[in-house]
C-alpha cells in the first residue's frame, strides 16, 4: 500500500483507533427505526444449480463427452466458466483442451471435496439470496432478477473487480455465480499456502467466509442495476458512489450486520464512528476531497490492511465509510428522496445539501 508523506497528521489521529469508543450495534445502525417493507409476497424465481458437482463428475477418460453433456445443462454458464473463469480457449465447436481440464480436476479435487462438506446444506444461503432479490424487486420493480444461483469451483486467482471490491462471485447473463473456493472459511488450509497468501493477504482472506456469499451476490445485483460511471474521478465522486451502493445494500439486506456489508471488523467500524470527525477533518485539511490524482487517493479508495495516514487500527478503504455517512446524512435531511433519485444525484450537490460536518 502506498504511503504518502508530507501530510499533516496529528498525534491524536495516529492514535485514533485507541480513542474511547462509543458502544454501537451494527444492526441497529443499519435498520434503526426505519420501516422495513414486507416483501414476502413478491414472486422471485430462483433455481440453485451446483455446477461444481457436475463438473467434477466428468470422466477424465472422456472429457469431450463430459463437456458436451454440461453444455446441454449449462448452455450459458459453461462457456463463461471455461473462458472467463478457467481462462481456457473455446473453439466455435465447443472444444476445449482435455489436458487443461484434467489438470484442474486433479489439482482442485480436494477444494471441491472440502466445499461439498461445508455447503452440504445450501438452503439457508438460497433463502437469504432470494429474500435479497425480493427487496431488489420491491425497490426496482422493472429489474429482471437472475433466475439461477450457480455454485462453482474455480482457480484461486479467478477474481472479478466489482464497484466495491474484488470477489470470486460474479453475475452472468442469466445467473448469480458463486465461487465456493473463496468461501471456505478464513482459517481454511487452502488460504495458508504461500501462493494463496501472495494473492490474498490476511485482511482480504478474513472475508472468505460463507456469510459473505449473500452480500457479494447483492453487490453484484447493485452493479447490474447501477453500472459505475467512468466520469467519477475525484475522491468525493468515488466515495459518494460507494456510499450510494452501500445505502442500496442496506435496503436489500436490512437484517445483515454492517460489518459484513462494509467489510470492516467490528472494532474498525466502531473506531470509525468514534473518529468520524477526525477522518473528515483529515481529508479536508489535506485537500483530498476534490483530488483526482490516483497516486494521492489510492489508499483511501482501495482495500488495504489500514489507512496508513490515519494510523494503526484504522481500516483500509476509508472512502467506504465516509461515503456511506454522507449519504446517510443526506437521506436524513431528505427522507422523501427515492433510491432512483438518489442514484442520479451529483456528488457535490449531495455533499452541499447534506451539510456533512461530523464532530
Q: Cβ contacts of residue 251 below 8 Å, gap of 6+?
A: 135, 139, 339
Q: What angle do CA 125, 224, 199 make, to 5 degrees?
A: 65
Kindly report the number of other CB atoms within 10 A of residue 222's CB atom: 24
Single pTM value for the model: 0.88
pLDDT of residue 174: 86
Q: What does the pLDDT average to over 237-260? A: 97
Q: Cβ contacts of residue 108 below 8 Å, gap of 6+?
A: 153, 155, 181
Percent of the chain with pLDDT over 90: 74
Query: pLDDT category, 91, cuts 50, 70, 90?
Result: low
Distances (CA, A) of 11 to 8, 17, 223, 280: 10, 12, 39, 16
pLDDT of residue 274: 94
Q: What does the pLDDT average to over 259-287? A: 95
Helical pair 318-333 and 266-274, crossing angle rounded to 10 deg = 60
Q: Would you say residue 28 has pLDDT above 50? A: no
pLDDT of residue 92: 55
Q: What does the pLDDT average to over 3-18? A: 37
Q: Which three cell numbers stand for residue 112?
A: 471441491
Amino acid at each position: 500500500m502506498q504511503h504518502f508523506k508530507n501530510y499533516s497528521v496529528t498525534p491524536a489521529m495516529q492514535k485514533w483507533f485507541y480513542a474511547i469508543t462509543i458502544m454501537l450495534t451494527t444492526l441497529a445502525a443499519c435498520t434503526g427505526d426505519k420501516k422495513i417493507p414486507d416483501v414476502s409476497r413478491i414472486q422471485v424465481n430462483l433455481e440453485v444449480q451446483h455446477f461444481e458437482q457436475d463438473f467434477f463428475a466428468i470422466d477424465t477418460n472422456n472429457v469431450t463427452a463430459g463437456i458436451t453433456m454440461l453444455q446441454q445443462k449449462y448452455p450459458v454458464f459453461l462457456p463463461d466458466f471455461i473462458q472467463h473463469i478457467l481462462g481456457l480457449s473455446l473453439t466455435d465447436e465447443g472444444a476445449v483442451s482435455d489436458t487443461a481440464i484434467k489438470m484442474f480436476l486433479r489439482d482442485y479435487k480436494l477444494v471441491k471435496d472440502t466445499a461439498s462438506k461445508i455447503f452440504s446444506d445450501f438452503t439457508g444461503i438460497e433463502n437469504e439470496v432470494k429474500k435479497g432479490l425480493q427487496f431488489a424487486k420491491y425497490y426496482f420493480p422493472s429489474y429482471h432478477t437472475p433466475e439461477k444461483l450457480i455454485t462453482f469451483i474455480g482457480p484461486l486467482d479467478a477474481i472479478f473487480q466489482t464497484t466495491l471490491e474484488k470477489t470470486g462471485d460474479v453475475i452472468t447473463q442469466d445467473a448469480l455465480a458463486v465461487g465456493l473456493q473463496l468461501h471456505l472459511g478464513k482459517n481454511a488450509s487452502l488460504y495458508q499456502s504461500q501462493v494463496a497468501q501472495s494473492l490474498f493477504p490476511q485482511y482480504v482472506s478474513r472475508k472468505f467466509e460463507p456469510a459473505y456469499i449473500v452480500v457479494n451476490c447483492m453487490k453484484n445485483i447493485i452493479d447490474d442495476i447501477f453500472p459505475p460511471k467512468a466520469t467519477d474521478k475525484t475522491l468525493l465522486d468515488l466515495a459518494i458512489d460507494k456510499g450510494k451502493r452501500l445505502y442500496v445494500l442496506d435496503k436489500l439486506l436490512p437484517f445483515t450486520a454492517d460489518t459484513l456489508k462494509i467489510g470492516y471488523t467490528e472494532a474498525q467500524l466502531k473506531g470509525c464512528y468514534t473518529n468520524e470527525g477526525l477522518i473528515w477533518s483529515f481529508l479536508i485539511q489535506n485537500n483530498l476531497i476534490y483530488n483526482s490524482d490516483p497516486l494521492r487517493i489510492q489508499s483511501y479508495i482501495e482495500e488495504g490492511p489500514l489507512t496508513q495516514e490515519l494510523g494503526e487500527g484504522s481500516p483500509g478503504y476509508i472512502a467506504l465509510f465516509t461515503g456511506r455517512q454522507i449519504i446517510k446524512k443526506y437521506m436524513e435531511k431528505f427522507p422523501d428522496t427515492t433510491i432512483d433519485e438518489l442514484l442520479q444525484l451529483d456528488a457535490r450537490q449531495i455533499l452541499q445539501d447534506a451539510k456533512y460536518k461530523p464532530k
